[in-house]
Structure 1
Amino acid sequence: MLPPTSAIADVLQLRGREGWLSPPLLPVHRAPAVLGTARTVRLAAGPGGLTPLHRLLDEDLGGRVIVIAGAEAAAGAVWGEILTVSALRAGAVGAVVEGGVRDVGAVRELGLPLWALHEATAGPGPLVHVAAVGERVSVAGVPVADGDMIVMDGGGVVAVPDRRVLADAGAYAAAEADVVTALRAGASLAEAYRHKADLVAALRAGHARRELREPARPPAAWR
């Protein structure tokens, strides 16, 4: 069972890392928890079109989450009903679009988990192109490499750097459940929170120990 994205995001925070893409991405279609691997696309301003993205959707995308960075460069939506049908046919389990999407009603009926920056009525326009496929991209300032784990659920979407984060997030979610159980049994918040406090301290301490072992490198000009 996957831990919720909120628990994953909290663990990343406690480790001094980032990874959550929501916000600024917002849900177009929320769905039960999905774990997939990123298939990355980077768009950029300028003529050229989206043909490489369309070709990508003819690949075998089983278990993949399509991650489209830089889509805010388009005049309108770069994703809609047609691409959703294509993605589902190819086996994709979700899509993340750093830009506009349309045909939201149809997308929700089709059921593909989808998060994006905003809705748009018009299409992408002629002044956007696919700059790269399968390369490391940045979405909302978070680096995502092709093949990275992506977790999507009703609460958000998170890029997960390694499976240890999932294990810690599972323990974190269990501790939060214990807090809720204690509150319902009549404990004060201070008493109930003790179920979670030790784990939070351990995660913070682990981050501090890593910082001590791995001091920041000096700027290149100093070396």
Structure 2
Amino acid sequence: MTGATVGTTGAGRTGPDGVPLRDRIARLDTCALSDALDTLGLAGATTGIRPLWPVGEAVVGTVRTVRAGPRQHGQPAAHIAAAAVDSAGPGQVLVIANDGRLDVSCWGGILALAATRRGIGGVVIDGACRDIAESEELDFPVFGRAVVPVSARGRIVQLGMDERIEVAGVPVQTGDWVVADRNGVVFVPAAEAERVVGLAERIVRREEGMAEAVRSGQPVDQVMHDSKFPSVEE
């Protein structure tokens, strides 16, 4: 995950070896984090959300939440995520909850341009976006469910910002960590980050040993037995 965009929340916290938490998270992929969350009985890994253009590097950062939904009146309204873009910055990732809706966009090219100018690391959408070619040209990472040409204008609006939302059934709030790569998107609750990251690091070390055992000729059915994987108690 070299070169990933890394968040600032929790940056001062360090592990036993003195490495800042943000750097430790940036060394992990979504698979290791998902396994750690599973083992700890925590929600965090999503399904159905993927990079909407071939993003080369993983996105890692702290979350700024936006909640979108159906227009409730006929009055003009601020555009979805515009205020979040204007107030976010480097190391932060916008996360837009639109209930997985696929028939209307809640992110587009002008927002991507503005987010790039603010140094925002990317956007994760539980729904659809449009103008994806513009985001790719800007090298701005977009993760979501679909690309459509249909505008949000007159259909959906922003209902909230910096509040608790759900993304693919996972509770997320501003300040949580997000990792998005070619495998998908995982959220790590800020309050559980140390515990999740520590276990994910152990999982990575164990899997590296397992891979070496396979290379040395050990049968994979023995190497990958359930007893070989880290547990919470270890």
Shorter-chain TM-score: which interval?
0.7 to 0.9
Q: Which moved more, 1:169-178 or 1:130-139?
A: 169-178
Instruction: State whether residues 43 and 73 of structure 1, in contact with CA within 8 Å, keep that contact through their aligned partners in structure 2.
Output: no
* Equivalent position to 1:142, from 170, 174, 181: 170
Give the match for residue 119 of structure 2: 91
Query: Do structure 1's residue 185 and structure 2's residue 216 form an aligned pair?
Result: yes
What amino acid does structure 2 have at the position aligned with 1:26?
A: R
Q: Secondary structure at the match of 2:81?
A: helix
The separation in 2 between residues aligned to 1:171 and 1:64, in whole angstroms, is 27
Give the match for residue 210 of structure 1: none
Displacement, 1:50?
4.1
Displacement, 1:43?
0.7
Query: Do structure 1's residue 35 and structure 2's residue 60 form an aligned pair?
Result: yes
What amino acid does structure 1 have at the position aligned with 2:94?
A: I
The separation in 1 between residues aligned to 2:85 and 2:99, in whole angstroms, is 16
Query: Do structure 1's residue 101 and structure 2's residue 129 form an aligned pair?
Result: yes
Larger helix percent: 1
The separation in 1 between residues aligned to 2:138 and 2:207, in whole angstroms, is 33
Are the structure 2 counterparts of residues 103 and 51 from structure 1 closer, same or farther at C-alpha, using a change threshold of 3 Å?
closer
Are the structure 2 counterparts of residues 102 and 51 from structure 1 closer, same or farther at C-alpha, using a change threshold of 3 Å?
closer
Are the structure 2 counterparts of residues 166 and 144 from structure 1 closer, same or farther at C-alpha, using a change threshold of 3 Å?
same
Displacement, 1:140?
0.8
TM-score by length of 2: 0.78
Higher relative contact order (CA 8 A, sep 6+): 1
Give the match for residue 42 of structure 2: 17
Please give the root-mean-square deviation of Cα atoms over the aligned residues, in Å: 2.2
Give the match for residue 197 of structure 1: 227
What CA deviation, in whole Å up to 9, does each residue of 1:85-126 have, x standing for no partner? 111111211211111111222222322222111110121130
The separation in 1 between residues aligned to 2:42 and 2:32, in whole angstroms, is 13
* Structure with bigger gyration radius: 1
Task: Tell me how many residue pairs correspond in the alignment.
Answer: 202
Q: Secondary structure at the match of 1:183?
A: helix
* Equivalent position to 1:166, from 197, 206, 213: 197
